[in-house]
Structures are given as structure tokens and as C-alpha cells.
Amino acid sequence: MQSVYTREQRIKQSEKMQGNFAYTSLIQILCLVACLFFAYGGEVIQQTQTPAYQTSGRGEIQQTQTPGNQTWETGDVQQTHDNCCGNRTIEGCGNKAHCEYICRSCGLSSSNSCYNDLIKNCFEIFNVSMSTLNAEDFCQWNNVKSTYNNFSMCTEDRADCLLIPWPNKLVEEKFVEIHSLYFKSCPTQQFDDPPPSIVFALVMTPICLIPVMVVLVVMKTKNGDHRS
């Protein structure tokens, strides 16, 4: 009777080991398929470069804004719009204190047309500020961030007053022009995406560890069965 019980126990243990072995083999096959997929997929990874002027939201520019650099917000409004559009009126305006004057100065012009003139004036002020720097200073962010952020704030403020979404196509084109004029010679390698080999290694390391963990669990289970 005892031998029959022992035989049944061995049969159950053998079936359990076969099931664990099949499970481990399945995991290894899946890991191999994943390795082949990522190996061939890594060859077609494109290294895309994000322009430095793109931001994830308006808050980023405001966070980097330093005290004393907000002269464009109010002080230059009168000068900017006297050079731009004349004394006219417009319907629909932002709720900031100086927006009424900005909207009135646009007059019969469409919002986009007037906004295009306004950001041209922001661009002129940006050029004047950049002209005080040497060409070697253009690639030093600490030297240009104040002027750069002021230009961003200027375009955003005018867009808010005219109830135009920001960023928009006109602003993006102006930023592209700025980068082509002042920053095209600056090194950009440090802002590139990681090479495909590094991405492949980071992705495959945890995937290849899965079979190892499964084997360890199976071995631990076997040891527990023998002890019982």
C-alpha cells in the first residue's frame, strides 16, 4: 500500500516538473522572439531632434523668467504698437490691463494679420538685445536665456490679448528664423536621443531576466517538494 502511494506521489511530482519545464520553455521562446524583434527593430530607430524652442506648456517659460526681465510686458507696449498698427479698434480682447490698447491698435486688421505685425516688433527688440552679445556667447544659455524668454513672453502676451492660441504657426516660424540666424552653429549632440544600441540594451535586460527568474522559482519549488 505504501509503495502504491509512493508511486502515485512520484507520478504527480513528475507531471508537475514536466509542467514547470514546459512553462519555462515557453518563456524562453517568448524571450527569444522578443530579442529578435528588438534586434531588427533597433536598426530602424530614427534619432529625432526636438527644437529647443518647443515647450511643454506656458508654465516652463514663466518658471525660467528672471526678475527684472519683464520690460516687454508693459513698458514696451506703447512703443511696439505705435510702430505697428496705428490707433484703431477691434472686437474680442483679453482681460489683461494693457490688452485694451493692443486690441484697439489693431483696428480693422484681422487678428492674425495684426499678430504677425506685433511679433515682428517683438523680433526687432530681440535682435537689438542679441546684437549686444558676441557670436561666441550665442551658444551659452545663461547669456541668452533672458532675451530668449522675453521674446517668448512677448509673443505669448500678444496672443493672449488677441485671443489667439499659443504657440501657433506664426510663432513657430519666427523661432525657426531665430535659430537659423543665431544658433545654427551651436552643438546639439548633447540633446540627441540615446543611440539605438543603448535603447536596445535597456529594453532587453529586464526581458532576458524573466527566464532566469522563472528558473529560480521552479528550482525553489522543487526544493520545497523534496523537503515535504
Q: What is the mean pLDDT of residues 44-61?
A: 40
Q: What is the mean pLDDT of residues 109-125?
A: 92
Q: What is the mean pLDDT of residues 184-198?
A: 77
Instruction: For residue 201, give the amino acid letter.
Output: A
pLDDT greater than 80 at residue 22: no
pLDDT greater than 80 at residue 226: no
Burial 187-217 (b: 16+ CB within 10 A, else e): eeeeeeeeebeeebeeebeeeeeebeebeee
| Residue 147 burial class via C-beta count within 10 angstroms: exposed 0-12, middle 13-18, buried 19 and up | buried
Q: What is the mean pLDDT of residues 126-139?
A: 92
Higher pLDDT, 68 or 96: 96
For position 173, what pLDDT does the model report?
94
Q: How confident is the model at residue 66 (pLDDT cuts 50, 70, 90)?
A: very low
pLDDT greater than 70 at residue 161: yes
Between 111-130 and 169-182, two packed helices, what is the crossing angle to 10 degrees?
20
For position 125, what pLDDT does the model report?
95
For position 58, what pLDDT does the model report?
39
For position 105, what pLDDT does the model report?
84
For position 32, what pLDDT does the model report?
62
Cβ pair 90, 143 in contact under 8 A? no
Highest mean pLDDT among 53-67, 161-175, 180-194 belongs to 161-175
Provide the grid cell at 61: 517659460
